[in-house]
Amino acid sequence: MKEEIILPLVLVAVCIISVTWAEWNQIARDHILQIHNDYRRNEGACQMNELVYDMDLEAQAKTWALGCYFEHEIVEGRGENLAYDIRHIAEAKLRIHYAMRWFDEKALYTRGQADCGKSCHYTQLVWDKTEKVGCYSYRCPELNAMDKIVKNAWYLVCFYTPFGNLVGHDPYQTQCDTPCRDGQTLINGLCVGQAIIPCVDLGEHCDYWQSVGHCKGEYEAYMKENYKVYDDDDDDDDDDDDDDDDDDDDDDDDDDNAIAQNM
């Protein structure tokens, strides 16, 4: 597998006026996508997917952001990162600031820990098998946030598929047999293209696992352990659907005017 080298794009600072409402546009899409992929690239991981921007996820994020509720909309197979801020800052700065805050949770993460704990924003941001991201930001006149009303708050919503933060799994690996999965090309440290991951339909839950890209590969051992169709075990199966419902992530924030958390 050969690596294609593409010269990095020059970041151009874009100033977007902080008004009550501004349409999320292509500049914003390109910016948030580049921020995500830059963080992913710098992890030095193998088989790390390059994220692509997804308009369906953006539409879902927009619907949720316009509702002005700072809580997770739990949807099967989808990861979520949320943040809000009551300062009068430009949207571009909002995207940079909160992506950085999410990534900074890396300091709270230890490889091999049982779950994402207090670093669930970070682990979703750099989850190697996540393929798509879609975001939206909106300045809510009134944001319902954790049993209180916050006036005139920026609300940033990012949705991801497939979801990350599976219990018992690190977000990425640094040693792999190949730098990318079959069907992908390594470009500037990230794997581009759709990976070929065969899924053998051996169980009632295989369609779901395949839909999120986890039916085969390193998840085969997990499925053998949990599904009797793999090992002819007649015991009842327990499918612990690991999602990103991070109820235990209560971030302490030194800045009362800036709050980001994954719930």
DSSP, residue by residue, 87-127: S---HHHHHHHHHHHHHHGGGG--TT-SS-TT-HHHHHHT-
Q: What are phi and psi of 28, to 5 degrees?
A: -65, -40
Query: What confidence score (pLDDT) does residue 257 get?
Result: 40
CA distance 164 to 72: 15
CA distance 205 to 8: 41
Q: Where does residue 145 rank: exposed (0-12), middle (13-18), buried (19+ CB within 10 A)?
A: buried
> Domain 26-173+245-260 falls in which CATH fold?
Pathogenesis-related Protein p14a (3.40.33)
Can you give the pLDDT of all 263 residues of the chain as single tens digits? 444 443 333 333 333 333 334 578 999 999 999 999 999 999 999 999 999 999 999 999 999 999 999 999 988 899 999 999 999 888 889 999 999 999 999 999 999 998 999 999 999 999 999 999 999 999 999 999 988 999 999 999 999 999 999 999 999 999 999 999 999 999 999 999 998 866 555 566 666 666 666 555 445 555 555 554 434 443 444 444 333 334 334 333 434 344 444 44
Query: What confidence score (pLDDT) does residue 237 get?
Result: 41
Q: What is the 3-state secondary structure (H, E, C) of 118-156?
A: CCHHHHHHCCCCCCEEEEEEEEEEEEEECCEEEEEEEEE
Query: Where are the CATH 3.40.33.10 domain residues in the chain?
Result: 26-173+245-260
Query: What confidence score (pLDDT) does residue 207 get?
Result: 66
CA neighbor of 132 nearest in space, from 28, 27, 242, 36:
36
C-alpha separations of 172 from 18, 185, 194, 241 in Å: 36, 17, 17, 19
CB 91 within 8 A of CB 137: yes
Beta bridge partners of 134: 159
pTM equals 0.70
Q: Which two tokens stand for residue 2?
A: 């050969």
Query: What confidence score (pLDDT) does residue 74 get?
Result: 85
The residue type found at 180 is: C
Residue 188 makes CB contacts below 8 A (sequence gap 6+) with 5, 6, 8, 41
